[in-house]
Amino acid sequence: MSSIDWLVFALYFAAVIAFAWLHSRQNRGVEGYLLANRRMGGLAIGLSVMATQASAITYIGTTGQAFGEGMEFLQFYFGLPLAMVIISVTFAPAFYRAKVFTAYEYLERRFDARTRTAASIFFMVSRGMSAGIVLYAPSIVLSVIMGWSETTTIMIMGAVTVGYTLMGGMTAVIWTDVVQMLVLFAGIAAALFVLFGTLPEGVGVADAAYVGGVHGMWQAIDLSWDPSNRFTLWSGLIGGLFLAMGYFGADQSQVQRYLTARSLRQSRVSLLFNAVLKVPMQAAILAIGVMLFVFYHFEPQPLVFNTAERETVARSEQGPRLEELEVLHQRAHSARLAATMDALAARRTGALDQEQEAASRMAARNEEMQSLRAESRALTAEATGAATSDVNYVFPTYLVSFVPAGLLGLLIAVIFAAAMSSLDSELTALTSASVMDVYKRHLRPNASDRECLVASRTATACWGALAAGFALYAGQLGSLIEAVNRVGSLFYGSLLGVFLLAFFAKRATPPAAFFGLLAGMLSVLAASYLTEIAWLWYNVVGTGVTVASALLISLVTSERGGSPEHATR
């Protein structure tokens, strides 16, 4: 980066940290540290909720996903708006009236302590792994820009974020998220503007849309009912609905947000705010990935975007084959470029037959390039001993190579700010669950407010260390945006199922809820190992098995003379 990029980067972070420190002084006790003393407004919470989701994964993983597969990932979000409406009507009022610290505290009031503890532990396992993926994403940027190892960057980012979270508390986290989310919106607009500006002279927006269309990259709807197909309209509407309900209704990192609201109305405002803006925002970010795919039709495209891995392969016994692949890849790129220019020229003159013939050549050369990239990934996996997803490096490589000085510093700051806004949120959620659901509930029931505050800060540091440890493995999980949601889908369905029992199944007994939760988790694990169904459907499986098992157990025990000792407290 240039000196002006470093200046922009440093000024942005200094302003964010100062802002966090200013607002952190408003916290009072452990309720202030974890719940901002329940006095936040709906718009601020809504932006914070979006910022928690819009991590560095959103910028890096989503653009990489679209670069490789187009807009089809947008279907993943189709169930979210309806989920927000359902949660604002059912989950939010229940949590708000109960005045709980964690969502799982509500389960003890409705069922028993073991159901609460089991649900909280499942959450902590899920979110602990996801925090590692969130931390890994910005390490990609630093490794590309600085040439540092990912291990070094992970440790640095983990230390900075833990220190920032320890200082700030929930008030600082939410208000900092507000600023970072507004900057993220600006970053999306800036990235699209720069991408269009770096296209060759004479190639306009319509031409870029056409090139993407030749390869089907703009196609966002798949009507297939094949359950092994990862992204379809139905998996998004149904599986995505269950995932979003589980995420926003049973995941403490999201529930904790609207528990900070000063009124139920403000909680609902924050959820409905996301219902309106989330899908358009994701569409814009996916469009950046498609535009990167189009952009590299006109600029030389690296065979391997991850330069560190490319150098590792080059030094290995697979090095000579990699060089051969790079020569073949460059030839295929040159042929694709020629076909692209021919198709655009024929399109302008209205020569339909020539346009179709050139478009066919363009598609054929693109398939050849994809085949060469697949072989290069196999060589990389063989040389490094681990499978990685090169698409995660596409956007950082573009930033370093083509974005002008000053703006580069801002866009990189946006990525880091997004990572911090997600990681600090997850750390506070993990802290609240471990302190309130385990430490205070089981280990020190009579702990004072000061003891809980000390325990909270200690838990934050410990979770940060665990996130850093898992981040070292996250690079092997493929596309980051897919990986983080795939991890969540192993847990969200079962957690959602037990909350649906708590809200709507009056005859569900405490033992039935507990064993239903365990049955749901086992069913998802079985589905992931024994079937080929796409991971979005895990959420439906987990919810259905949890609810059905609990209702069946309740019915059987009731017929045998058991008493449904589960009055709502």
Task: Assess contact for 383 and 313: CB atoms under 8 A.
Answer: yes
**pLDDT digit of tens for each residue in the chain (569 aa)?**
678 888 887 887 777 777 767 766 666 677 777 777 788 888 888 888 877 766 666 677 788 888 988 898 888 889 999 999 999 999 999 998 888 989 999 999 999 999 999 999 999 988 888 888 777 777 766 666 666 777 877 887 778 778 767 776 777 778 777 877 787 788 778 888 888 888 888 888 899 999 999 999 998 888 888 887 777 888 888 988 998 899 889 989 888 888 888 889 998 998 998 888 888 888 988 999 999 999 999 998 898 888 778 888 888 888 899 999 999 999 999 999 999 999 999 998 888 999 999 999 999 999 999 999 988 888 888 887 766 667 778 888 888 888 887 788 877 777 777 677 777 778 888 999 999 999 999 999 998 888 988 998 899 889 988 888 888 776 655 555 566 667 778 899 999 999 999 999 888 999 999 999 999 999 999 998 898 888 889 999 999 999 999 999 999 887 665 544 444 44
pLDDT score of 521: 94
Structure tokens at 342: 């021919």
What distance in Å separates the CA atoms of residue 534 and residue 512, rounded to the nearest whole number?
Answer: 28
| Whole-Å CA distances, 156 to 14, 148, 399 | 17, 11, 21
pLDDT score of 476: 59
DSSP 480-500: HHHHHHHHHHTTHHHHHHHHH
pLDDT score of 115: 95
Burial pattern 497-529, b for ≥16 Cβ within 10 A else e, equals: bbbbbbeebeebbbbbbbbbbbbbbebbeebee
Q: In what helix (H) or strand (E) does residue 148 lie, and over which residues does it extend?
A: none
Other CB atoms within 10 A of residue 342 CB: 18
| Nearest residue to 221 via CA among 76, 366, 359 | 76
pLDDT score of 2: 75
pLDDT score of 566: 46
Structure tokens at 457: 């800060």
pLDDT score of 87: 93
pLDDT score of 522: 95
What distance in Å separates the CA atoms of residue 346 and residue 312, rounded to the nearest whole number?
Answer: 43
pTM over 0.85: no
